[in-house]
Each structure stands twice: as structure tokens, then as C-alpha cells.
């Protein structure tokens, strides 16, 4: 909404850009912008035209993807939305194999909470999503893996010792059912709340605080490696003595899984899981 910045981005002069906008308004037969010293602002008619343009661009991208899929080989753009914890700890190894095998594919990757991933899929902003937990999804749903949950601490070696410590229980924010699973496990085992609690916004912050002895945490196995020493990792179990685990799922619409670049990624993921 700034003529000077727009003209610089388009490598044209401001008078040429102004003339082009006037031509566009003449073609539509409506005033699309209100001009002032502060810049441009959209009229209601302008909002409708821009919504139309964005829809056309989105359809154009879909046609381009279809044309790519008709060609020999794998190319085009692969749009992925992935839960942050998976994007940080698991996906990089998969993408390394993928880009080595299919260098012609462009990758667009966004990370966030699982609810944000689902919204990206609903809004058709990405081809596939990778989320944690138990998704309510009507499209294609592929189970990737389940990793166990661990009590992580530098001092205590048994869960019952937590009742005797004054050090805090460090938790990280999550929009999935992860938090509820932890609460259920805790109440089932101790029937009382932790003495002290620290809540942080990122799982990596939670991990580093536990690793530095500030307190204890419950972390999924995907964030832990065998190389980490001087830290106790106690597996959590349910009432039947079975390990508590977190599921990871690959989601998408049927149409997305018909694209060659998506099929190629699924193939690489299966290979990676089989090897590891």
C-alpha cells in the first residue's frame, strides 16, 4: 500500500505504476484504491478484486502442479506443514535424503503447533501436514511412528522420588492432548499436584533446563539421543505397565497424494523409517 516501495519492488517508476493502476481501475469500472499522503488504502471494490486475484493465483499454482505431475521425473513445489518438535528433531534427516534423491523439487516448509498444521491443511495452504497426537482428520492419514515418554532428571532415578524433592516440574506449552496425558499419568501415580511448577513456551527450553539440573521434565523420546549422558531417562508406563507413547501422523487430502512430489516424499519417509 505504498507507491514508492511498490515501484521499487517492480523496478518501474512511480508515474508508470500510477498509470497502470488507473488502467486497471478503468478495466474494472470501479475505484479500487483511495490515495492519500500516507499511501494507498483499499476500497470495498478493491478488496473484492484482490480476493479474486488471489484465488486465480492459487488455481494457477494447482494447474502448474498438475502439469509438473504429468512430466517425467519428480519436480514442482512440495509444501509441508509440520509440528515444531518433528521439524526440529526428525524431519531434517528425512529431507536430507529427499533433496539428494529429488534435487528438482522445491520445498516450502512451515512449522507450528498441531492445530496450526491442521488449519493449513483445511485452508489448502500446504500439500501435507505432519502432526503429533491423535488427529481428527477425514482425509488420508498415515501413521509414521510412536516415541515413548521419559521422566528426565539429573538426580532422581525413580518416579516416586519426585514427591520428596523441592525442585520444580518443568513443563512446556502444547496445544495437543500431550499436557492432559502427563496430568493423567501424574495423578494416577501420585494423587497430588507437583510442589512447584515452571511452564515454558518451548520444548527445547524445557529440555535444557532439565539437563542443567534446574528441575525435572517429562519429554518425548524424539527429543532425546543416546549420546546424552549424566541424565536419567525413566520410561513412563500406563496402568497396565505398557510404555506411554506419542504418535506422529502424516495427513493430507487424497488429491495431494496423487502428486509425484508427495508420493516421492512418502516413499523416502518409509525408507527412512525402515532403515532407522
208: domain CATH number is 3.40.190.290
* Mean pLDDT rounded to a whole number for the chain: 89
The answer on 153 and 221 residing in a single domain is yes
> What is the pLDDT confidence band of residue 228, given thresholds at 50, 70 and 90?
low
DSSP-derived 3-state class of residue 252: strand
Q: Nearest 5°: phi and psi at 148?
A: -70, 160
Q: Please, what's the b/e burial string for 35-48 (b: 16 or more CB within 10 A of its CB; e: otherwise)?
A: eeeeeeeeeeebee
Answer yes or no: do 93 and 62 share one domain.
Answer: no
Single out the residue in 20, 54, 70 at which a domain terminates.
70
Radius of gyration of the chain (CA): 25
| Pair (26, 118) in one structural domain | no
Model confidence at 195: pLDDT above 60: yes
Q: What is the CATH number of the domain that holds 43?
A: 1.10.10.10
Query: Do 88 and 62 fall into the same domain?
Result: no
Q: Are residues 118 and 141 part of one domain?
A: yes
Query: How many whole angstroms from its chain centre is CA 152?
Result: 25
Res. 227: pLDDT tops 60: no
> Which residues span the domain enclosing 47?
3-70
Q: For the chain, how many structural domains are there in total? A: 2
* Whole-angstrom distance, CA of residue 244 vs CA of residue 237: 5
pLDDT category, 70, cuts 50, 70, 90?
low
Percent of the chain with pLDDT over 70: 96
User: Is 1's pLDDT higher than 90?
Assistant: no
Q: Which 8-state DSSP code applies to residue 244? A: P
| CA triple 224-227-230, angle to 5 deg | 85
Amino acid at each position: 500500500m505504498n507507491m514508492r516501495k511498490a515501484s521499487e519492488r517492480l523496478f518501474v517508476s512511480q508515474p508508470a505504476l500510477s498509470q497502470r493502476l488507473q488502467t486497471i481501475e478503468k478495466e474494472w469500472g470501479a475505484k479500487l484504491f483511495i490515495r492519500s499522503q500516507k499511501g494507498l488504502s483499499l476500497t470495498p471494490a478493491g478488496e473484492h478484486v484482490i480476493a479474486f486475484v488471489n484465488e486465480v493465483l492459487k488455481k494457477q499454482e494447482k494447474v502448474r502442479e498438475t502439469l509438473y505431475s504429468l512430466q517425467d521425473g519428480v519436480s514442482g513445489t512440495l509444501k509441508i506443514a509440520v509440528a515444531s518438535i518433528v521439524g526440529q528433531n526428525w524431519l531434517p534427516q528425512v529431507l536430507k535424503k529427499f533433496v539428494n534423491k529429488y534435487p528438482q523439487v522445491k520445498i516450502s516448509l512451515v512449522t507450528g503447533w498441531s492445530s496450526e498444521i491442521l488449519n493449513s491443511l483445511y485452508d489448502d495452504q500446504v500439500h501435507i501436514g505432519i502432526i503429533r497426537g491423535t488427529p481428527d482428520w477425514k482425509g488420508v492419514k498415515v501413521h509414521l511412528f510412536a516415541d515413548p515418554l521419559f521422566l528426565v532428571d539429573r538426580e532422581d532415578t525413580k518416579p516416586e522420588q519426585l514427591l520428596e524433592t523441592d525442585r520444580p516440574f518443568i513443563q512446556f506449552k502444547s496445544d495437543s492432548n500431550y499436557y492432559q496425558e502427563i496430568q493423567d499419568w501424574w495423578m494416577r501415580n501420585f494423587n497430588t499436584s507437583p510442589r512447584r511448577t515452571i511452564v515454558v513456551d518451548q520444548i527445547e527450553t524445557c529440555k535444557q533446563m532439565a539437563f542443567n539440573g534446574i528441575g525435572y521434565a517429562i519429554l518425548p523420546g524424539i527429543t532425546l539421543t543416546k549420546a546424552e549422558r549424566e541424565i536419567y531417562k525413566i520410561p513412563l508406563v500406563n496402568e497396565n505397565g505398557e510404555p506411554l507413547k506419542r504418535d506422529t501422523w502424516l495427513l493430507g487430502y487424497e488429491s495431494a497424494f496423487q502428486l509425484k512430489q508427495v508420493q516421492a516424499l512418502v516413499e523416502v519417509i518409509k525408507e527412512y523409517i525402515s532403515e532407522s
